[in-house]
Structure formats: structure tokens, C-alpha cells
Amino acid sequence: MKKLDGEDNVQISKVLNNMGVVYFHLGEKRNARDRLIRALKIQKRWIEEDSLSRECTIFDTSVTLSNLAKIYLKRCEYTMAAYLYEEALQLQTKIIKKDHQAVLDTLGNIAYSKAMAGEKTNALQIYKSLHELQCKTFGVDSRESSETKGLMGVLHAQQSNLTVALRCFTSVLKWQNAHLDQNAPALLNTKNAIEQLSLAIRGDTALLPPSSFCFSI
């Protein structure tokens, strides 16, 4: 392998990735996308041509893919964002454990992208897997697992799975009552969602439009 295609270019790809991140934060998405794509081409060529690619190069490539996915999220191109996050996940799981924070973050990003793309059933399946991993890693009563439970509740509500959504939000409220001020907006929002779901389940009122359900923790 020529030196130009080796260590030197790997370093160049890191610089290009960093430039892409800077352009992204400056709001210059086109320049950001250009730098990230250039970095990705170098990284992928390195991985494809070197069967002994170091783990750091594989991980750096997954980071570049994730950064590129963020641009597509900003552009509301959710299917493309999900594809890039899935590619990043494939690389991550080759070199790090499935309970690593980077893997958990990527799973969450895939689920979010698919949900925004209208693939709510697929998104729910991914959130379920993520929730199970978070419970094992951080504990059943962790902030991370509660947050994912709330996001699952939103999707269930949007799919008219009202009883399941109610269970999700009730679980979240338990965590919020233990950790948040009683006047915290997130807690009040959860209480409102529970009230709306309870009324709709009893048939006392129509469920609010799916878009009205949001979640924060």
C-alpha cells in the first residue's frame, strides 16, 4: 500500500471530519457534508484495502458516518440518516461491546430517524432493544431507560396503542416524581399525557392529535 493511502491519509480524514463538524456548527451544512464525505472515502478505502485495519480507524469511520447522518437529520432526510446510522452501528459492533455508550447512542439515533421517517413499528422495536440494554447497563430506574420508555410511549400513543402508551408514561412519571421538582415542565407534560390517555381509554374524550404528544425528561 502506498504511503499516501496509509497513515498520512488517515490523518487527513481526521482533519476533514473535524472541519465538517466545525462547518456543521456554523450552519454551513453543504461545506460540512463535503468534508465529511471526503473523510469517509479515505476511511472506507483504508478499511477495504487493509484487512488489519486498526480499531481506531474503524471507530473513526463510524464517527464520521454519524456526523454525516446528523446533517441529513437537519435536512429532514430521515431515511438517509437512518441508513448512515445503521452503517455506523455495523462498524461499532465489530470492535466494541453492544452496551458501549457509542452503540447505545447510535441505536437511539436509528430509532429516532426511523420514527421521523414514518417507520414507527421498526422504531419501536429498536427502542425496545435499546431499553433492554439500558436496563442491564444502567439499571431499570435509570434516567436513560426512563427516557427511552417515554419515547416508546409517544410512539405507542401515535399508533393508538393507548393502554401500552399509558403504562410507558406511568413508568416515566414514577422516575420523574423521584428525581424532579414537582413543577418541572417535563413532569407536568407527562401528567398531562397520562390524563389525556386515561380519558381516551375510558371514552370520555377523543385522543389528542398524535403530533401533540411530545416527551422530555
How far, in Å, CA of 103 to CA of 94, rounded?
11
Domain count of the fold of the chain:
2
Q: Using one digit for the tens of pLDDT, what is the confidence trace for 107-161?
A: 999 999 999 999 999 999 999 999 999 999 999 999 999 999 999 999 999 999 9
Looking at the fold, whether 180 and 123 belong to one and the same domain comes out as yes
Looking at the fold, whether 216 and 123 belong to one and the same domain comes out as yes
Looking at the fold, whether 125 and 198 belong to one and the same domain comes out as yes
Mean model confidence pLDDT for the chain: 89
51 located within any domain: yes
Q: Using one digit for the tens of pLDDT, what is the confidence trace for 46-82?
A: 888 765 568 888 999 999 999 999 999 999 999 999 9
Lowest mean per-residue pLDDT among 47-51, 65-69, 84-88, 168-172 = 47-51
Provide the pLDDT for residue 46.
84
Q: Using one digit for the tens of pLDDT, what is the confidence trace for 173-197?
A: 999 999 999 999 999 999 999 999 9
The yes-or-no verdict on residue 4 having pLDDT over 50 is no
14 located within any domain: yes
Looking at the fold, whether 92 and 130 belong to one and the same domain comes out as no
Provide the pLDDT for residue 172.
96
The yes-or-no verdict on residue 44 having pLDDT over 80 is yes
104 located within any domain: no
pLDDT band per the 50, 70, 90 thresholds, residue 169: very high
103 located within any domain: no
Looking at the fold, whether 123 and 205 belong to one and the same domain comes out as yes
Tell me, what CATH number does 26's domain have? 1.25.40.10
Domain that holds residue 35: 1-98
